[in-house]
Chains A and B, each alone.
Chain A
Amino acid sequence: MRIGDILTYAYGGVAGYRLRSLLMLFAMAVGVASVVVLTGLGEGARRYVTGEFASLGTHLLIVLPGRNETTGGAPPLLGETPRDLTLDDALALKRSAAIRRVAPVTVGSAPVSYQQREREVITIGTTAEFLHVRRLKILSGRFLPETDPRRAAPVCVLGGKLKRELFGNRAAVGQWVRVGDRRFRVIGVLASEGRAIGLDLEDMVVVPVASAQALFDTPALFRVLVEARSQSLIENARQQILAIVRARHEGEDDITVITQDAVIGTFNKIFTALTMTVGGIAAISLAVAGILIMNVMLVAVSQRTAEIGVIKALGATRRTIITLFLTEAGVMAAAGAAIGLALGYAAGAATAQIYPVLSITAPVWAAVSALLLAIGLGVVFGVLPARRAAALDPIAALARR
């Protein structure tokens, strides 16, 4: 039999029994759509998180106080406390030739008020270099002045949202606001930059690091952002940061240096694993749909006993009959899978309209493997019914009217 004729005949079998075929298509479509949507979600989350880290800037290293790796030695029973990371430590890093910029960061939460309006926002204490390290843009005015970082100047830069909430459409630059119990003059407003890990840059106030330390009454830094001179010098910079701080901390390795690459790589791995897991779970529903195909095809064989008898009498071989019924199962699975793909991508597109931040687009490998798996399952689960059809005794099949 010709391939075109086989497909036409199989299609006729699918189209000839509408309700049963529609239910089958629906089951398969749900299975495939769930694979597409769930892997799309996983993929979207992966891209969101890695995008967050990538938006931090390039050649970036993050220095955290404390150490999160064990190096052996005495257990920490003796009240060993991690040393603070101080402003002097941060400034000392500038000695390294591999390092271009250093931005110490102190973070706290403080009420910011202007006249009757008050907002509780994140307050960041840092230096002028923060602007370059984090690739921020200034909407109006200017960023923190490049003066001695140890000087607690009473100036601040507002995030875009905070500025709108405190000042509305009026100019903020030049006005005095109160942060905590101190007064600061607004010298600039940040441009909307969107999002960044853990910090909404729209909704914060930036002050000189020494001012923030006085405000929160602590000499400790939250972290230090370091920009290496080039991609190739990142590892070099890491070694030097560790060496410099070790020398300043009496030979103790009590800081952690994270490179951006490593963070992105780790999150990539985690989210890819997550995507594959949810995809695998969704694939179970595909297997269920496969069993349904078998059920439907078994019904088809018993419904069409006479038809099978006729095509046997007309000279169809065992193989022809098996081929016809397998193709029918395959056609049904493929059609269901195609509908499922369309549904899944439509759901992704709809979600993108509602939450533009999180794009739900299933990776191509997931869509392709869902499609192949669906067709494969259709054929595999079609084998038993097809063999049953081929084994029918034509005389018995034709004896029934």
Chain B
Amino acid sequence: MDGIHDLGGKQGFGNVELDASSIEKRHIHGFNERWHAAVFTIMNSLFAHGAAANTDHFRHSVERIDPINYLSDGYYGRWLGGAETMLVEAGLLTQDEVNNRVLSKGHKVAEPIAARPAEQSPTFAPRSAAYHPTAQREPLANPIFAIGDNVVAHSLGGTGHTRLPSYVRGISGQIIAAHGAWVFPDANAHGHGEAPKHLYTVRYQGADLWGPNAEEGVVLNIDLFEPYLELAQ
């Protein structure tokens, strides 16, 4: 979906706001707040009890957050919105239960759930018994493209999950690496199976993406799935 999460190339967000770990160049890491870790753990638990079918399903729940909230809630706030949506959609909690509990924690108003429902509720097949340590899979077909090919990416035009950002669409780039076949997020997020597709790294010249005022000597590399691509004319 062409949602607010597709931030690449958008203008107007201002300078990067550094945190102490960058300013002081110290090895600060881990969670800044306990509630961040709570959200992280809740997210993990979604997979354990089936509310989240897979990572792609989860990422799409975050993308469906109200766009204003997406920008203002922070990273773990976004995850929280996604988690809440999936718990309600899976029938494990009701929206009223969540809202009432928020009120009892001292909120004056129960703001509506952060995420909007999917256009259609996906139904997921039970998890395959096969254990896969990664999202890489045996290819179902030979790759269509080879390193060195010039390609153009086009949106598949759906309203669902995709990993094709808008800023590279319609621009010619060159394949510089082939990574084999991987679980296809556009299908997997919606219960349409893993449908493995070949994955390539495509290199774009900055001036091709951003025009004559682009910074000089900049290239952009991005990993794109085969169904997004066709040979450049």
On whether the two chains bind one another, the answer is: no
Binding site for B on A (CB under 8 A): none
